[in-house]
Protein backbone atom coordinates (compact mmCIF):
# COMPACT_ATOMS: atom_id res chain seq x y z
CA UNK A 1 0.00 0.00 0.00
CA UNK A 2 1.41 3.38 -0.94
CA UNK A 3 1.52 6.33 1.36
CA UNK A 4 3.88 8.71 3.10
CA UNK A 5 4.14 8.45 6.85
CA UNK A 6 5.38 11.03 9.32
CA UNK A 7 5.58 11.71 13.03
CA UNK A 8 2.92 13.84 14.65
CA UNK A 9 5.49 16.61 15.17
CA UNK A 10 6.00 16.74 11.38
CA UNK A 11 2.31 17.01 10.54
CA UNK A 12 2.21 20.80 10.37
CA UNK A 13 5.09 20.81 7.88
CA UNK A 14 3.78 17.84 5.89
CA UNK A 15 -0.02 18.09 6.04
CA UNK A 16 -0.53 15.37 3.43
CA UNK A 17 1.38 12.73 5.36
CA UNK A 18 -0.09 10.01 7.55
CA UNK A 19 0.72 10.41 11.25
CA UNK A 20 0.75 7.47 13.74
CA UNK A 21 -3.04 6.98 14.16
CA UNK A 22 -3.25 6.38 10.40
CA UNK A 23 -0.15 4.27 9.89
CA UNK A 24 -2.28 1.14 9.60
CA UNK A 25 -3.59 2.57 6.32
CA UNK A 26 -0.04 2.37 4.99
CA UNK A 27 0.68 -1.04 6.45
CA UNK A 28 -1.87 -3.23 8.23
CA UNK A 29 0.83 -4.62 10.54
CA UNK A 30 0.79 -1.28 12.35
CA UNK A 31 -2.41 -2.50 14.03
CA UNK A 32 -0.76 -5.72 15.21
CA UNK A 33 -0.88 -6.98 18.78
CA UNK A 34 2.88 -6.71 19.42
CA UNK A 35 3.48 -3.13 18.43
CA UNK A 36 6.23 -0.91 19.77
CA UNK A 37 6.91 1.41 21.48
CA UNK A 38 5.33 0.64 24.83
CA UNK A 39 4.92 2.35 28.17
CA UNK A 40 6.83 0.23 30.67
CA UNK A 41 4.83 0.04 33.89
CA UNK A 42 7.40 -0.88 36.51
CA UNK A 43 4.93 -2.38 38.97
CA UNK A 44 3.97 -4.92 36.30
CA UNK A 45 7.53 -5.86 35.38
CA UNK A 46 8.64 -9.41 36.19
CA UNK A 47 12.25 -9.70 37.29
CA UNK A 48 14.15 -12.45 35.47
CA UNK A 49 17.14 -13.39 37.58
CA UNK A 50 18.23 -15.97 35.01
CA UNK A 51 19.24 -13.29 32.50
CA UNK A 52 23.01 -13.16 32.14
CA UNK A 53 24.73 -9.88 31.26
CA UNK A 54 24.83 -8.89 27.63
CA UNK A 55 28.15 -9.46 25.89
CA UNK A 56 29.46 -6.81 23.51
CA UNK A 57 31.98 -7.78 20.81
CA UNK A 58 33.78 -5.13 18.81
CA UNK A 59 31.99 -2.26 20.55
CA UNK A 60 35.32 -0.87 21.73
CA UNK A 61 36.86 -1.04 18.25
CA UNK A 62 36.93 2.07 16.10
CA UNK A 63 36.82 0.23 12.79
CA UNK A 64 38.31 1.42 9.52
CA UNK A 65 35.30 1.93 7.23
CA UNK A 66 33.50 5.28 7.25
CA UNK A 67 30.01 5.62 8.69
CA UNK A 68 27.20 7.02 6.54
CA UNK A 69 25.29 9.82 8.32
CA UNK A 70 21.97 10.50 6.59
CA UNK A 71 18.89 12.68 6.93
CA UNK A 72 16.17 10.31 5.71
CA UNK A 73 13.34 12.78 6.23
CA UNK A 74 12.27 11.23 9.53
CA UNK A 75 15.45 11.08 11.58
CA UNK A 76 19.23 11.08 11.51
CA UNK A 77 20.41 7.59 10.66
CA UNK A 78 23.97 6.30 10.92
CA UNK A 79 24.76 3.23 8.82
CA UNK A 80 27.59 1.19 10.29
CA UNK A 81 30.20 -0.54 8.20
CA UNK A 82 31.93 -2.55 10.90
CA UNK A 83 31.00 -5.76 12.65
CA UNK A 84 30.16 -5.08 16.33
CA UNK A 85 27.99 -7.82 17.83
CA UNK A 86 25.86 -8.33 20.91
CA UNK A 87 24.82 -11.58 22.56
CA UNK A 88 23.98 -13.08 25.93
CA UNK A 89 21.43 -11.35 28.12
CA UNK A 90 18.72 -13.81 27.16
CA UNK A 91 19.09 -13.19 23.42
CA UNK A 92 18.59 -16.39 21.41
CA UNK A 93 21.73 -15.83 19.31
CA UNK A 94 24.34 -13.23 18.42
CA UNK A 95 23.29 -10.13 16.51
CA UNK A 96 25.42 -7.72 14.48
CA UNK A 97 24.94 -3.96 14.59
CA UNK A 98 23.93 -2.38 11.27
CA UNK A 99 22.69 1.13 12.10
CA UNK A 100 21.57 3.50 14.80
CA UNK A 101 19.22 6.46 14.77
CA UNK A 102 17.68 8.98 17.14
CA UNK A 103 14.14 9.96 18.04
CA UNK A 104 13.49 13.43 19.42
CA UNK A 105 10.59 15.78 20.03
CA UNK A 106 10.64 19.53 19.53
CA UNK A 107 14.32 20.42 20.07
CA UNK A 108 13.63 23.90 21.45
CA UNK A 109 11.27 22.48 24.09
CA UNK A 110 12.60 19.05 25.11
CA UNK A 111 10.90 19.23 28.51
CA UNK A 112 7.44 20.05 27.14
CA UNK A 113 7.66 17.90 24.01
CA UNK A 114 9.97 14.98 24.82
CA UNK A 115 10.92 12.72 21.97
CA UNK A 116 11.61 9.30 23.43
CA UNK A 117 9.39 6.60 22.00
CA UNK A 118 9.31 4.31 25.01
CA UNK A 119 8.31 5.64 28.41
CA UNK A 120 8.71 4.49 32.00
CA UNK A 121 5.52 4.78 34.06
CA UNK A 122 4.28 7.35 31.57
CA UNK A 123 7.41 9.50 31.76
CA UNK A 124 9.36 10.22 28.59
CA UNK A 125 12.91 11.43 28.02
CA UNK A 126 14.02 14.19 25.63
CA UNK A 127 15.47 11.67 23.16
CA UNK A 128 15.93 7.97 22.51
CA UNK A 129 18.67 6.16 20.60
CA UNK A 130 17.96 2.89 18.80
CA UNK A 131 20.86 0.63 17.91
CA UNK A 132 19.54 -1.85 15.34
CA UNK A 133 21.00 -5.35 15.07
CA UNK A 134 20.26 -8.27 12.77
CA UNK A 135 21.01 -11.95 13.16
CA UNK A 136 24.66 -12.56 12.41
CA UNK A 137 23.73 -15.21 9.82
CA UNK A 138 21.79 -12.81 7.55
CA UNK A 139 23.04 -10.06 5.27
CA UNK A 140 20.60 -7.17 5.78
CA UNK A 141 17.41 -5.99 7.48
CA UNK A 142 15.21 -7.20 4.60
CA UNK A 143 16.55 -10.73 4.99
CA UNK A 144 16.33 -10.51 8.78
CA UNK A 145 12.60 -9.79 8.53
CA UNK A 146 12.12 -13.16 6.81
CA UNK A 147 13.66 -15.12 9.67
CA UNK A 148 12.49 -15.85 13.24
CA UNK A 149 13.98 -13.49 15.84
CA UNK A 150 15.50 -11.58 12.95
CA UNK A 151 16.03 -8.22 14.64
CA UNK A 152 17.23 -7.05 18.03
CA UNK A 153 17.18 -3.37 18.99
CA UNK A 154 19.01 -1.83 21.93
CA UNK A 155 17.18 1.28 23.12
CA UNK A 156 18.76 3.99 25.25
CA UNK A 157 16.98 6.97 26.74
CA UNK A 158 18.82 10.29 26.45
CA UNK A 159 18.58 12.85 29.24
CA UNK A 160 19.75 16.45 29.39
CA UNK A 161 22.64 16.63 31.85
CA UNK A 162 26.39 16.94 31.32
CA UNK A 163 28.00 17.63 27.96
CA UNK A 164 29.10 14.44 26.20
CA UNK A 165 32.13 15.20 24.05
CA UNK A 166 31.99 11.75 22.48
CA UNK A 167 28.99 12.96 20.46
CA UNK A 168 30.71 16.10 19.16
CA UNK A 169 32.01 14.52 15.90
CA UNK A 170 28.48 13.43 14.96
CA UNK A 171 26.60 16.51 16.14
CA UNK A 172 29.01 18.81 14.32
CA UNK A 173 27.97 17.21 11.02
CA UNK A 174 24.24 17.87 11.45
CA UNK A 175 24.64 21.27 9.77
CA UNK A 176 25.65 19.38 6.63
CA UNK A 177 22.53 17.21 6.48
CA UNK A 178 19.76 19.75 7.06
CA UNK A 179 17.52 18.42 4.31
CA UNK A 180 15.98 15.08 3.45
CA UNK A 181 18.34 13.04 1.33
CA UNK A 182 21.48 14.80 2.54
CA UNK A 183 24.24 12.47 3.69
CA UNK A 184 27.89 12.65 4.66
CA UNK A 185 30.55 10.14 5.54
CA UNK A 186 32.10 10.42 8.97
CA UNK A 187 35.01 8.76 10.68
CA UNK A 188 33.87 5.76 12.72
CA UNK A 189 33.79 5.82 16.51
CA UNK A 190 33.80 2.97 19.01
CA UNK A 191 30.11 2.29 19.63
CA UNK A 192 30.85 1.96 23.32
CA UNK A 193 31.90 5.64 23.41
CA UNK A 194 28.32 6.66 22.60
CA UNK A 195 26.73 4.52 25.31
CA UNK A 196 26.77 4.44 29.11
CA UNK A 197 29.66 2.43 30.61
CA UNK A 198 29.22 -1.31 30.11
CA UNK A 199 29.20 -1.94 33.87
CA UNK A 200 26.07 0.24 34.09
CA UNK A 201 24.14 -1.73 31.46
CA UNK A 202 23.14 -4.62 33.68
CA UNK A 203 19.59 -3.40 34.26
CA UNK A 204 17.26 -3.44 31.28
CA UNK A 205 13.71 -4.21 30.21
CA UNK A 206 13.11 -6.95 27.66
CA UNK A 207 10.06 -7.61 25.51
CA UNK A 208 9.14 -8.79 22.03
CA UNK A 209 7.66 -6.08 19.85
CA UNK A 210 7.94 -4.40 16.48
CA UNK A 211 9.70 -1.73 14.51
CA UNK A 212 8.32 1.60 15.69
CA UNK A 213 7.62 2.99 12.21
CA UNK A 214 6.02 1.55 9.07
CA UNK A 215 6.21 -1.24 8.03
CA UNK A 216 5.78 -1.94 11.79
CA UNK A 217 7.33 -5.40 11.35
CA UNK A 218 6.70 -7.62 14.37
CA UNK A 219 9.59 -9.86 15.29
CA UNK A 220 11.89 -7.49 17.14
CA UNK A 221 13.55 -8.33 20.45
CA UNK A 222 13.70 -5.09 22.42
CA UNK A 223 16.20 -4.32 25.15
CA UNK A 224 15.40 -0.99 26.81
CA UNK A 225 18.16 0.09 29.17
CA UNK A 226 17.46 1.74 32.49
CA UNK A 227 20.65 3.82 32.45
CA UNK A 228 20.28 6.79 30.07
CA UNK A 229 22.85 8.42 27.85
CA UNK A 230 23.73 11.93 29.03
CA UNK A 231 23.98 14.91 26.70
CA UNK A 232 23.96 18.59 27.58
CA UNK A 233 20.82 20.63 27.04
CA UNK A 234 22.45 22.41 24.10
CA UNK A 235 23.40 19.07 22.55
CA UNK A 236 19.85 17.80 22.93
CA UNK A 237 18.43 20.91 21.28
Angstrom distances, CA of residue 141 to CA of 133, 175, 213: 8, 28, 14
Active-site option among 4, 74, 101, 118:
74
* 215 upstream amide cis, omega within 30 of 0: yes
SS3 226: strand
Give 33's contacts (C-beta < 8 A, 6+ positions apart).
none
Alpha carbons 178 and 209: distance in angstroms, whole number = 31
SS3 206: strand
3-state secondary structure labels for all residues of 110-147: CCCCCCCCCEECCECCCEEEEEEEEECCCCCHHHHCCC
The count of residues in the chain is: 237
Give 22's contacts (C-beta < 8 A, 6+ positions apart).
none
Find, among 99, 118, 89, the residue nearest to 212 by Cα: 118
Asked if 164 and 230 touch (Cβ cutoff 8 Å), the reply is: yes
Q: Is 101 a catalytic residue?
A: no
* 182 upstream amide cis, omega within 30 of 0: no
Asked if 221 and 211 touch (Cβ cutoff 8 Å), the reply is: no
Alpha carbons 219 and 111: distance in angstroms, whole number = 32
Residues forming the active site = 74
Amino acid sequence: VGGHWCYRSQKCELPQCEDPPLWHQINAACRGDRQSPVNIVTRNVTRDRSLAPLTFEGYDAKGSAKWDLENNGHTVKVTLNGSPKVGGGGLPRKYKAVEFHLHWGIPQQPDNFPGSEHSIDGEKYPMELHLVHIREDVSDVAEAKKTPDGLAVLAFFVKADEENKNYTPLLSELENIKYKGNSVQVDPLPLSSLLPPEDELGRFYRYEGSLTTPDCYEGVIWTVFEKPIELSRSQVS
